[in-house]
Amino acid sequence: MMVSALIERELAETLPIRNGVFVAVVGPSGAGKDTVIGYARQRFAGETRLEFVRRVITRPSDAASEDHDTLADAAFAEAEADGAFSLCWDAHGLRYGLPADVDWAVANGHVAVANVSRGVIPALRERYANLAVVEITARPEILAERLAARGRESRGEVLARLARSTSVQLSGPDVTSIDNSGDKQIAGDRFAEVLRKAMAFSDLSDMI
């Protein structure tokens, strides 16, 4: 479901958006963010209070990357101007966007879960009254091994990615750090617990 640009602008006039919770999943490339999110998606299949956000990216979708919607650069810019996104950012030479209906979901008491860049956390804190930041991490050697296995970047590019991953430090009571160096079920279960708490908080907000 896509809300109109008019509804999106009306929501923006009442920031921060309340009632539900936005769960921002961040972490360096190779940490396994999509793996952990996918684990939770299966764990909570059929849970109507959870919205796993499908991102829009200026990159073709393939089997090696997340399942996302693709727009060319010009089409992305046009969609952004039309108010189709709740939030946009640039990273790794690409443009990323979250559909505007994320705002509708949170405003209506749902829990929206999205993989985002660390750099947009301040904007998210301004936009959503109830924000939970989940930082997925892994040991440096694990990150390097996973990135190398993708075969999409040179050794220098891999090292540059790892360096960028430590350039923005996260802190605050809304941040939970999960180590995903080992069995994905361990990290997945910890992430699932964060989502349970977010749903419980959202339920309480609906009662107030």
Structural domain boundaries enclosing 113: 5-203
Residue 208 domain-assigned (yes or no): no
pLDDT 10s digits, 116-174: 999 999 999 999 999 999 999 998 888 888 877 766 666 666 666 666 665 556 778 88
* Domain count across the chain: 1
Within-domain flag for 78? yes
Q: Burial, 125: exposed, middle or buried (Cβ in 10 Å; 0-12, 13-18, 19+)?
A: middle
Cα 137 → chain centroid: 14
Q: What are the pLDDT digits (tens) for 82-117? A: 999 999 999 888 999 999 999 999 999 999 999 999
**41 band by pLDDT with thresholds 50, 70 and 90:** very high
41, two tokens:
């998606």
Say what the pLDDT of residue 67 is.
78
Return mean pLDDT, the chain. Answer: 86
Q: Determine, yes or no, domain membership for 122.
A: yes
pTM: 0.85
Sign of CA dihedral 56, 60, 65, 68: positive
C-alpha atoms less than 13 angstroms from C-alpha of 166 in its C-beta half-sphere: 8
Residue 9: CATH number of its domain: 3.40.50.300
